[in-house]
Structure 1
Amino acid sequence: MHKQVYVVPHTHWDREWYFTIEESRSLLMHDLAEILTHLEADPDFGYFVLDGQAIVVEDYLKTRPQDAERIRALAQAGRLKLGPWFTQTDSQVVSAESMVRNLMYGMQIAARFGGVMREGYIPDSFGQSASLPHLLNGFGIHSAVFWRGKTERQARDVNFVWTGPDGSAVNATNIALGYQVAKYLESDPVALQQRVQRMLARLGSNSASNNVLIPAGHDQMPIQKNLPAVLAQLEEMNPGDSYRISTIEDYIADTFADDADLEMYQGEFTEGKYMRVHRSIYSTRMDIKMANAAAETELTRMLEPLLSVASRLGFDYSPSLVAEAWKTILQCHAHDSMGCCNSDRVNADIKHRFVKAREIIHAHANMTLRLMANSVEKPDDEDLLFVFNAVPSAGTRLVQQELFVGEREFALVDVDGNDVVYSVLTIEDYDAQKIDRQIAHLNQHIPMFRVVIAFRARFEGLGYTTYRVVPGRSGTVVATRAPAGAAIQNAEITAEVTENGIRLTSRDEQKVIATLEESGDEGDSYDYSPPPNDMVFRDFAFEAGPVTIIEGAQRLAFTARRTVPATLDERERGITSRTAAFAGTVELRDGEGFARIHLEHDNDAENHRVRLTVITDLAPEYSIADNQFGVIKRELQHPEAANFRELGWQEKPDPIYPMLGFSALTQDHRGTFVATRGLREYEITGSSHNEVNVTLYRAYGDIGKDDLTRRPGRASGIKVPSPDGQLKQHLAFDLAVGFIDGEQSIVEASHATNLLNTVDCTFQVKKYNDFQLNPTGRSIPGSYTLLDLDPSIVLSTVKLMESGAGYAVRVANPTWSPVVVDTPVIHGHTAYLSRLDEEIGDRADTSVPVPACGSLTLVYLPE
């Protein structure tokens, strides 16, 4: 049969890697200008794909704004393919909302230039999330073209239908030989024919179609100007076959015109048999990955909900500031950037971007809180505490708050006039000149007190409440301490620090032990790899400290210590000269069915990995973890792992997996989950697969290395030292361990994860401030609730619509069964069904379905 070969010219543009953005942009100035000029001059060079990421255009136009019309003309003519992504995103360890905004901003930019490539083009990301069909469908995209992660276990043919558990589906094509397969095609006819026919033979072995998609490009590759002539040469040498410069759209339309016999697959692509997926890169530079998670959380679980409430009450949303924060974060989500498999100076740039994004978030949130708090009426001789709550359900939440007060004795009074019980954690003398620079300028000394309190705030849903701080009235319950070694207990869990770890027991007698594991790591920035002669330690010496009892919670302090090798050489020789010391607390809060674990540690060893290991008594059939909008079940052991080298795998398929917030094991009506704040890698071990191991960090010293135990062959990346990867710094970790009644209760793990990641968002109206503001001229109530949700679903975000016309509320159903819930109500607004792209659909009924492992977006327009 004759072949129809669709050759797609492109360049794969890594904005940063072992080079900085500034270095790649200098090259971009040359290469993109050349692409524009050649497309304009040569109509036979029909199309060019700009790597599926619109930020490349933004980068270019910052320096060459005069070329905007040239780009627009080519994009409108369909010859320069832009979008749909903002950056070529990772899909393993970035949040659902991050991927939504990546598509949102990428398509906005492409649309401004008159043309969006509505194809899910993902040429180089290290594995593909099972949620991608849902995400792509939410933007009207019904195809996906990707490289990494697929084997014949998912689908034999390169063309298949990829479905999501929510009912979404895309026509998918695997570019099995990679995006670089046709880079720099030869002009010599003999070499050209040999190369292309060898390529077609390999591709034809796993495709029933006569249509063949061949990407012609590579990393930072300039346009191959003679490509039309090269393809004409191929047609002369292969009569009957067609070789033409084409588009992904044309290939998809022609190849999937008859989809009757196509295979269907539901799930993720994370197998490194034919190409590397680096299935342990999820823990590379954990400091940066935790910074990313913090920024994502602060945007979606603090700033955007806060601004939605504020704008509902007449305050400014400032969407451009929100977009700036998002785009700063999304620059770090390109697969190499988020993988952190970069040079140290590039990783330093990435880390600084997260600092900048969080400064934008915090500054905007603080100003909004202050304006709102200043608009609540209060007596002149009292302060006011404004507390925002992003948890979309009624109940109480523990708030730990710093206050500056003029008297040691004060009462906290809620909006109904009731005194609120609180605990004083710390109190110290303070001076107002440390807060107010006008006082400092006058060299005045006004004594006051800095006090940290804890109390339970009550909310009716997502919104805010306020408290009067009344001086001169006693209202304190001072925190108390119990002797070291005492266990703590609430209505759901008992926690005890033993010499071996933290023992947790549920009300129904489920038991786990949480301990620490330290082992060697001879890997690089792409992959963990154990040394051939490793020493693995699980015998850290735990010692209980004092118990602190505060209003609404109990905290049990502990330490854990063990001597470990300082280097790989010491590990090889059996020497342990460094002490790995951890200080931490285990905390139980009233009303919570999980234990919070906080750990702090100063790393002083090299080339090693440290994990929190939770040992259960379960015998599960699979592990469970969350992904974008849903949950996924994963096998406990790959059938080809034991002899992966003999079978030709590019890397060993160990059960090291990504997660976004939690991993879990279940058996019948029992289960244990481990939730984290920004730690996004886990592995299941144990003789009965009963151990959940969450990587706290791994330390390495090279970008790439040859011949690793888990990854034979050439180095990934480049063989350059990366000493910052040793993470010799202070590290802090927050996790939660809890119990559920089997997989049917898995939504409880999602709720626990959201509670663990909830950000305190408060402001104290006080006499002395760093900056002065005029009165707002507004008056708002002392408490307000925007919305509350059914407990069977979770909130993804609430935000101002991109159009500014109303609000978008996105909820997710992280279970395997669809649910029907009452439509959330925003007073004064009417709810309409929508998609991820906020396209307005039909008016929502009083109840709405939320698909399994999927999301529902509602938009609310003013009545």
Structure 2
Amino acid sequence: MTRHLHIISHTHWDREWYLTFQQFRLRLVDLVDNLLDLLDRDEEFLHFYLDGQQIILEDYLEIRPSQRERLAKHIRTGRLGIGPWYVQNDTFLTSAEATIRNLLHGIRDARHWTEHPMMIGYLPDQFGHISQLPQILRGFGIDNAILGRGYKPEAHAGESEFEWASPDGSSVLAIHLPNWYNNAQRLPVEPEQTARLLGWIAEKSERYASTKHLLLMNGVDHLEAQENLSVALSEVRPLLGEDTVIHHTDLASYVARVREEAPLTARVTGELREGDQYYLLQGTLSARVYLKQSSARTQDLLERYVEPMAAWNALLGLQAYPHDSLAFVWRKVMHNHPHDSICGCSRDAVHEEMMSRFRQTDEVLNALLERGQQSLIRQVDVSGMGDNDQLIFAYHTSSRERSDVVEADVDVLQEDGGEAGIRLYDASGQLVPYETISRRRLGKRMLSPINLPTTIPVTRHRIRFLAEALPSMGYSVYRVEVAASNTDALLPIERTQATESEGQSASASQTITTKRQPVLENEWLRAEIAANGSIKLKDRVTGLTYEGLHVFEDDSDIGHSYVSHPVENDTVRTTVDTLARIECLSADGFEQSYRITLPWSLPVDADEEGQKRSEVYRACTIVSEVTLRRSARVLAFNTRFDNQVKDHRLRVRFPVPFTSGVCRAGGQLDVVTRPEALEWPRDRNTHPNWRFVGLSGDSGGIAILNVGLHDYEHTHEPEGLTLTLLRSVRSISRRIPGAIDEYGLEEGHQVQGEHAFTYGVHVHGGQASNAELYLAAEEFANPIRSVVHPVQDGRWRSGRPWVQEPGIEGMFERPDPNASKPRLPLVGSFLRVSEPRMLVSAVKMAEDRHSLIIRLWNPEEQPIDGIVDLQQVAIAAYLVNLLEERLSPLPVAEDGVRIALEPKQFLTVELPLDE
């Protein structure tokens, strides 16, 4: 049988890692400069693949804009392969939408260079792969995947080629790289040596290959193209004989040849996380946890608030959709998503730069959100309201109706009696009870595009109230009027309400002296706080009681950013025997809250050899605020930990009173069921979750909801869940036993200083659906938001129109461009989905036309169907792929568009807003 050796020249480009981005970029400039010279002078050098990342071209051209045409020439002729990704992102630590936009931006960018970018699901070095990736790839017309980790041929048919399917049945031809993406890293020029090396590589590859086509990857991390490859190949060919054919080719050609012959004996469905800990590197799930938390919050802000708000404004014709700004933000977010970036396994300087990117991105997102909010609230129908009244616009983006406690800052002009109280009315005119959290005087900064900035004196009332029955993806407007006294309409609470003077506060955070027992309860839950700070939680619906919740444990970690590893025979320390200080923060009203302070001491570090933890201890106090809001089924925690010790792992326990053989973990457009058995040898049996992980028994269950805490363990004796809060380690990696390489020792991996963690316990019946758990987690991470605006804002624009004060009276005015457009009712929904188990993943405008794009998915094991309703008759509807290309029309009825989803399927729907 004739062997076919397919040699792929490439580089694997980690944009930032053991060097910073700018340091690596200088090497990238050298690489591309030399590559262009090689392509120009050597016509026998047929192809080079730029790692499937479009960002490589961006980064290069910022330094070498003069080289654009040279790049374009070689891309057009197919000698320089680009696409389909924007960056090589980690998929477990980023949202499904981030992976979808990664491919969307990458393919669209690549098509600016060539009509035929490389449509290869190239995944060379990600640390495992999410379950829905085949369905995502198929959504872009990609029918293959080439991957380096997560799959072990020995566990299947022993073949590197297999069929990989998502839970909905979408599948791709998957090709594993058993000998890595550098198995032909660089070939010698001596023909005899090259022949022997190629024979050795071929024999290793044939152990797993199911066809005569073998993949030889000529390159590796940051290496430049082999400049003498053409000579080496031409001279070795005569020595190989007729039974071996060399092809210097591209991945698309190789995949096509394999597809013609591969029997695909093995079929794997779902996520790929096979292999030991040094293969899978699951320690990255909790390395530098602050990066994961920042990323989760930024992605939620972008996906769950800013994009839907911008789409609603475009739908109503109030604001143009900010395509360019959102594209800029998405790219900035994705700059932080490469696997060595978001995984937290790089230099300190790299991760400092990442946090700067997150801050910049959040600044833009918050400004865009404020513009969108103000545009909508200005359009509300204020008929019958007083000129001095104000509006509170409370809104959310969940696909189901929501009720929750909302906080809002209401500023009252001093001239309107700022020290007085306020009254709050709902859309039906009913008085709404609220409580005042704080009240203070301040100068409110007023900005205008046509008048000079100014400051006006106000009293800011921070209030809390229950916003009830907000419709799906909708809002409710509350009217505020200045009351006759500061006690009107206040909900009685056991806390002194005092008007603030400058610099003083009557804050809800001050401790209340009370004889109350440390108990939090509402109609759903009763939580008792034990002397050691642990929680006894009763589900008042099922009657099930969970004891010993929220005990902290700490053990050693002498691993590194990639792998968590304990000291042998280490003692796990817990807070079980710690006496907590328990203080009541809020006992009545709309939320009950306690502060639990745990004075704890931990070993300062481990010894240099990693044989034992220190016998010297240092105080490490843990402070948790536990809160139960009215009508909530979630007991919420905000925990702070000032990390002053090293070489350790901090976790929190949630035992359950039943046996559960499997757990359900939130995934990317999926809810993943994982068995309890450990299939691969690992020091730590931890796994990823996105938003939540839960256990269920016959009579009930709990889910641990979280923001950016992706690392959990399903534990036993007792059975329960343990959530990792942080890992504190001493290096990026340890490649030499007992030694650390010069780039590895980075103090930032010890994550010293204060950290805050947000998580919650959600209780449910034993038959809770996947959708119920996912929605609970989404809503926990994305609360109802509010924005306040005066009914008439003329007096709020006081100030000076000119610096020189020429005597011009009043302020300059700009006509309201939306004054003649229809007004919004006081309660409304922008999008309704009739089937509560049909979840909405994205609401945005199409990339290149005036259409609304809605992505819907089914988390269940059964098919579902429902009506998607925009509250207005759609002029048309189309099923589109993930590139937003139309596939087929959908029937439109007066009540909306009917969508049918198979189990675990997601679909993208386009609703044109004009003809």
TM-score category (smaller protein):
over 0.9
Alignment CA distance shift 1:382-1:775 (3 Å):
farther
Alignment CA distance shift 1:203-1:511 (3 Å):
farther
Match of 1:295 in 2: 298
Query: Aligned-pair distance for 1:122?
Result: 0.9
Partner SS, residue 167 of structure 2: coil
Query: Aligned-pair distance for 1:325?
Result: 1.1
Match of 1:460 in 2: 471
Question: Do residues 784 (structure 1) and 828 (structure 2) align?
Answer: yes
Q: 1:395 aligns with which of 395, 402, 423?
A: 402
The TM-score, its normalising length taken from structure 1, stands at 0.93
Match of 2:761 in 1: 737
Q: Deviations over 1:454-479 (max 9, x none)?
A: 33254222133322220125222144
Q: 2:653 aligns with which of 599, 603, 613?
A: 613
Aligned pair count reads 845
Q: How does 1:248-647 map to 2 (within 5 A)?
A: 248-273=251-276, 276-314=279-317, 315-376=319-380, 377=382, 379-405=386-412, 406-428=418-440, 430-432=441-443, 446=457, 448-473=459-484, 474-480=488-494, 483-500=515-532, 501-507=534-540, 508-512=542-546, 513-540=549-576, 541=578, 542-546=580-584, 548-549=586-587, 551-569=589-607, 572=612, 575=615, 577-641=617-681
Question: Do residues 801 (structure 1) and 846 (structure 2) align?
Answer: yes
Match of 1:63 in 2: 63
Partner SS, residue 236 of structure 2: helix
Alignment CA distance shift 1:84-1:770 (3 Å):
farther
Match of 1:174 in 2: 176
Q: Distance in 1 between matches of 2:588 and 2:110?
A: 53
Query: Aligned-pair distance for 1:811?
Result: 1.8
More moved, 624-633 vs 453-462: 453-462
Match of 1:860 in 2: 911
Q: Distance in 2 between matches of 1:189 and 1:275?
A: 36
Q: Distance in 1 between matches of 2:761 and 2:397?
A: 22
Query: Aligned-pair distance for 1:113?
Result: 0.5
Alignment CA distance shift 1:597-1:210 (3 Å):
same
Amino acid at match of 1:678: G
Query: Aligned-pair distance for 1:437?
Result: 11
The 8 Å contact of residues 371 and 776 in structure 1, kept in 2 or not, is answered as: no
More moved, 630-639 vs 599-608: 630-639
Match of 1:23 in 2: 23
Alignment CA distance shift 1:636-1:140 (3 Å):
same
Identity %: 25
Q: Distance in 2 between matches of 1:630 and 1:769?
A: 49
Q: Distance in 2 between matches of 1:292 and 1:616?
A: 30
Alignment CA distance shift 1:551-1:72 (3 Å):
farther
Query: Aligned-pair distance for 1:621?
Result: 1.6
Q: Distance in 2 between matches of 1:822 and 1:29?
A: 52
Q: Deviations over 1:421-472 (max 9, x none)?
A: 21212223x133566799x999988352443433325422213332222012
Q: Distance in 2 between matches of 1:450 and 1:494?
A: 31
Partner SS, residue 733 of structure 1: strand
Partner SS, residue 729 of structure 2: coil
Q: Distance in 2 between matches of 1:26 and 1:443?
A: 46
Q: Deviations over 1:281-329 (max 9, x none)?
A: 1100011110000001101111011111111122122111111111111
The 8 Å contact of residues 86 and 102 in structure 1, kept in 2 or not, is answered as: yes
Q: Distance in 2 between matches of 1:660 and 1:636?
A: 18
Q: 1:810 aligns with which of 828, 844, 855?
A: 855
Query: Aligned-pair distance for 1:639?
Result: 4.2
Q: Distance in 1 between matches of 2:722 and 2:175?
A: 34
Query: Aligned-pair distance for 1:837?
Result: 2.0
Q: How does 1:76-91 map to 2 (within 5 A)?
A: 76-91=76-91
Partner SS, residue 432 of structure 1: strand
Q: Distance in 2 between matches of 1:53 and 1:714?
A: 36
Amino acid at match of 1:862: L
Query: Aligned-pair distance for 1:611?
Result: 0.9
Amino acid at match of 2:411: F
Match of 2:884 in 1: 838
Q: 1:222 aligns with which of 211, 219, 224?
A: 224
The 8 Å contact of residues 637 and 655 in structure 1, kept in 2 or not, is answered as: no
Gaps of 5+ in 2: 413-417, 496-513, 800-810, 892-896
Amino acid at match of 1:849: A
Partner SS, residue 558 of structure 2: coil
The 8 Å contact of residues 11 and 224 in structure 2, kept in 1 or not, is answered as: yes
Q: Distance in 1 between matches of 2:312 and 2:613?
A: 61
Query: Aligned-pair distance for 1:61?
Result: 1.6
Q: Distance in 2 between matches of 1:594 and 1:856?
A: 30
The 8 Å contact of residues 623 and 665 in structure 1, kept in 2 or not, is answered as: yes
Amino acid at match of 2:127: F
The 8 Å contact of residues 386 and 466 in structure 1, kept in 2 or not, is answered as: yes
Partner SS, residue 480 of structure 1: coil
Q: Deviations over 1:763-787 (max 9, x none)?
A: 2224547999845332431443111
Amino acid at match of 2:368: H
Partner SS, residue 821 of structure 1: strand
The 8 Å contact of residues 484 and 547 in structure 1, kept in 2 or not, is answered as: no
Q: Distance in 2 between matches of 1:407 and 1:418?
A: 24
Q: Deviations over 1:542-568 (max 9, x none)?
A: 443215245543323322332111222
Q: 2:246 aligns with which of 243, 253, 256?
A: 243
Alignment CA distance shift 1:437-1:480 (3 Å):
farther
Match of 2:42 in 1: 42
Q: 2:163 aligns with which of 161, 166, 171?
A: 161
Alignment CA distance shift 1:716-1:312 (3 Å):
farther
The 8 Å contact of residues 604 and 614 in structure 2, kept in 1 or not, is answered as: no
RMSD, aligned CA: 2.6
Q: How does 1:195-234 map to 2 (within 5 A)?
A: 195-234=197-236
Q: 1:666 aligns with which of 687, 692, 696?
A: 696
Amino acid at match of 1:200: A
Q: Distance in 2 between matches of 1:295 and 1:792?
A: 25
Partner SS, residue 144 of structure 1: strand
More moved, 762-771 vs 851-860: 762-771
Partner SS, residue 613 of structure 1: strand
Match of 1:701 in 2: 730
Q: Distance in 2 between matches of 1:589 and 1:5?
A: 64
The 8 Å contact of residues 655 and 683 in structure 1, kept in 2 or not, is answered as: yes
Alignment CA distance shift 1:673-1:360 (3 Å):
same
Q: Distance in 2 between matches of 1:631 and 1:223?
A: 42
Q: Deviations over 1:257-304 (max 9, x none)?
A: 245553211122223349622112110001111000000110111101
Bigger radius of gyration among the two: 2
Amino acid at match of 2:859: P
Q: Distance in 2 between matches of 1:313 and 1:727?
A: 46
Partner SS, residue 191 of structure 1: helix
The TM-score, its normalising length taken from structure 2, stands at 0.88
Question: Do residues 96 (structure 1) and 107 (structure 2) align?
Answer: no
Partner SS, residue 645 of structure 2: coil
Q: Distance in 2 between matches of 1:145 and 1:545?
A: 55
Q: Distance in 2 between matches of 1:41 and 1:828?
A: 61
The 8 Å contact of residues 483 and 546 in structure 1, kept in 2 or not, is answered as: no
Q: Distance in 2 between matches of 1:249 and 1:854?
A: 27
Match of 1:649 in 2: none
Q: Distance in 2 between matches of 1:691 and 1:8?
A: 47
Amino acid at match of 1:475: A
Q: Distance in 1 between matches of 2:617 and 2:517?
A: 29
Gaps of 5+ in 1: 642-651, 708-712
The 8 Å contact of residues 630 and 852 in structure 1, kept in 2 or not, is answered as: no
